[in-house]
Structure 1
């Protein structure tokens, strides 16, 4: 991933935040030189520097059989930035851009059809997301009709060997531009614009005065 030094993020707490916000990833693998992507909900955990991501495919998904390295992309908020929000727009000939937060994780996939593992994945995913929508459906392993559904999926574990975090939040601009763009975003109705504005203000608060 192309990441200018101003936008490099190294704190894994930010990865926690990205996947806590939106645990739905793009998983990319290659088979015979052809890229293949799946879009999947995942379970994320971290112990110090060690990250573990778990999930499952539908059994017919060709990615189940792909070996070798894989790239997982965790998507954060993003927003259009108008040059009209900058204080130096005329003298610096500013142009539009896009601010965003994203993580690229590279590692190897370990597939599994072990029933206990599959049951755990489905159970933990349902607990995580049923609670979030205010519902109470639960996976019941003792129910043979539910247990039989496990035959339709293949689970995976993914331990990243390389983690790249890119937080493009106008860090290469003067503070007045950052404040102006964050204020402009805050006036929009789009929730992601508000998230980006907050991230911009956080970075601005932590940097040395211009």
Structure 2
């Protein structure tokens, strides 16, 4: 990921917040013929200091379920269009439109598993994580044979990143007056993404 120094982040709390807000990631691999393949998946995220673990599963027919070990996992943060008309110095500096956003790219190793107990535990934790946010009440019940049978259709994975690249492109290359003006304009927008970008900017604006 192209990351100018001004937009580079090293604090893993940004990764925490991105995955708390949106744990639906993009997982990319390249096979032996150098053909790329991408899946879009929800994940469970855990961090202990600098040690990060992501867990999820594929449908068994997904080529990644038997694919290579190395992978790129993309975490998508909030993003918003920025109009040059918002900048106080837009005429004097001939400002142009841009897009502010935050994202993370993680490269590392995939570990696959398909034993029934481990898959059952994963599905139980995934459902607990996402049913509560959706207001639902479904729970995986490992003592039900019909639910255990469904596990045959999936393959689980654990993703262990070796490198984590964090980017927050938030007008850091602009004077404070411009940044404050963009924050105000984004906070006035109706979209959640715009307001989330404004919050990231406000946290980084003196």
Instruction: Give TM-score scaled by structure 2 length.
Output: 0.98
Q: Deviations over 1:147-170 (max 9, x none)?
A: 100000000000100000000111
Q: What are the equivalent positions in structure 2 for 1:57-96 lying under 5 Å apart?
A: 57-96=58-97
Answer yes or no: is the 8 Å Cα contact 2:179–2:201 preserved in 1: yes
Question: Paired residue for 2:123?
Answer: 122
Q: Deviations over 1:83-113 (max 9, x none)?
A: 0000110111100000000000000111111
CA RMSD of aligned residues (A): 0.7
Instruction: Give TM-score scaled by structure 1 length.
Output: 0.96
Q: Deviations over 1:134-193 (max 9, x none)?
A: 111100000000010000000000010000000011111100000111111111111110
SS at match of 1:3: coil
Question: Paired residue for 2:105?
Answer: 104
1:68 Cα offset (Å): 3.5
Q: What are the equivalent positions in structure 2 for 1:3-152 lying under 5 Å apart?
A: 3-31=3-31, 32-152=33-153
Q: Deviations over 1:116-135 (max 9, x none)?
A: 11111110110011111111
SS at match of 2:174: coil
Question: Paired residue for 1:168?
Answer: 169
Moved over 2 A (4+): none
Contiguous gaps of at least 5 residues in structure 2? none
Contiguous gaps of at least 5 residues in structure 1? 206-210
What number of residue pairs does the alignment pair up? 205
Mapped to 2, the partners of 1:23 and 1:195 lie a distance apart of 15
Mapped to 2, the partners of 1:103 and 1:117 lie a distance apart of 28
Mapped to 1, the partners of 2:174 and 2:158 lie a distance apart of 40
Mapped to 2, the partners of 1:102 and 1:121 lie a distance apart of 26
Question: Paired residue for 1:208?
Answer: none
Question: Paired residue for 1:184?
Answer: 185
